[in-house]
Amino acid sequence: MMKSYDNTIVVGVSQFGLDNGIILPVNIDFSSAPHLIIVAPSGSGKTYLLTFLLGQIAKKSVKLILADFKGIDFIEFDECKDYYKHSDIAKALDYVYEELQQRMAEPKKDNQPIYFCVDEWSGFLCSLTTKKEQDSFKQKMASILMLGRGVQVFVIMSLQRADANYITGRDNFGNAVGLGTLSKESIKMLFADEADLIQSKSRGKGYLRIDGKPLSEIVVPKIRDIAKTKEIIKTALLK
């Protein structure tokens, strides 16, 4: 029998809901709109949102891979098999890319989802010394973004700025979140037609674009028990 996996994740609560006195969780569903790009200047809550998402993903029956360019915020995962830091992001990317190729070569209907989560993708690209190297990793990521959905390989990445130097286009991200005060270029890249609606926000607050849906304002909620959340993530990274 074909297994069906639940690829829904809560990304925040609705600002509209809060304005009207109710807490409305806002979901994204990778099965209908794959991948998520998170853009925010330093200190605006990218890693915090990622931790909130990882806590949920870790409870699913999926393979979780965490690539953390800075290697500080997730230091407690250092010994975990599926945690990669600094330049090892290259290894994580190669692994996911290989897996994608294999899945493409032998199509199956019940692939277990892979969630490839990358904190500070642009930092990683900037750390590479040659343009050739950068282009090669950008190209691999672009392939994963383009082909991943059909074989249940999903990407969540964070960057300080959305910029054509780091991604080959916003088109393959079914979901985009921008937090805090975004640059003009980031706004254009993430929200295109709706760019005029975007205002400057404080840490942990911003906008969500889901393919085919109206833009919404979201607030990233406080993580109730951060130590417990990290324990759950750690368990998933050791699997």
Ligand X SMILES: Nc1ncnc2c1ncn2[C@@H]1O[C@H](COP(=O)(O)OP(=O)(O)O)[C@@H](O)[C@H]1O
188 burial level (CB within 10 Å; 0-12, 13-18, 19+):
middle
What would the x/- binding string for ligand X be over residues 21 to 40, using CB under 6 A? Answer: -------------------x
Cα–Cα distances (Å) from 226 to 55, 74, 75, 85, 93, in that order, read 9, 12, 14, 21, 27
What would the two tokens of residue 137 be? 């990793």
What would the x/- binding string for ligand X be over residues 146 to 185, using CB under 6 A? Answer: ----------------------------------------
| Residue 220 interaction partner, one of ligand X, Mg ion, none, beta carbon < 5-8 Å per kind | ligand X
Q: Which residue, 47 or 186, is less far from Mg ion as judged by CB?
A: 47
Strands of 49-90 (E only): list them.
63-68, 83-85
129 burial level (CB within 10 Å; 0-12, 13-18, 19+):
exposed
- What is the distance between the alpha carbons of residues 57 and 138, in angstroms, rounded to a whole number? 25
Segment 197-216, which members bind ligand X (CB under 6 A)?
203-204
Instruction: For residue 222, state whether it binds ligand X (rule: CB under 6 A).
Output: yes
Minimal distance in Å, beta carbon 45 to ligand X? 3
Cα–Cα distances (Å) from 221 to 58, 74, 106, 160, 235, in that order, read 18, 19, 40, 20, 23
| Residue 96 interaction partner, one of ligand X, Mg ion, none, beta carbon < 5-8 Å per kind | none
Residues that bind Mg ion (CB under 5 A): 46-47
SS3 (DSSP) at 67: strand
Minimal distance in Å, beta carbon 72 to Mg ion? 8
Phi, psi at 221, each rounded to 5°: -75, 165
Instruction: For residue 14, state whether it binds ligand X (rule: CB under 6 A).
Output: no
Q: Which residue, 83 or 97, is less far from ligand X as judged by CB?
A: 83
Instruction: For residue 47, state whether it binds ligand X (rule: CB under 6 A).
Output: yes
Single out the residue of 15, 33, 37, 45 in contact with ligand X (rule: CB under 6 A).
Answer: 45
Number of residues that bind ligand X (CB under 6 A): 12
Q: Which residue, 47 or 172, is less far from ligand X as judged by CB?
A: 47
Which residues lie near ligand X (CB under 6 A)?
A: 40, 42-48, 203-204, 220, 222
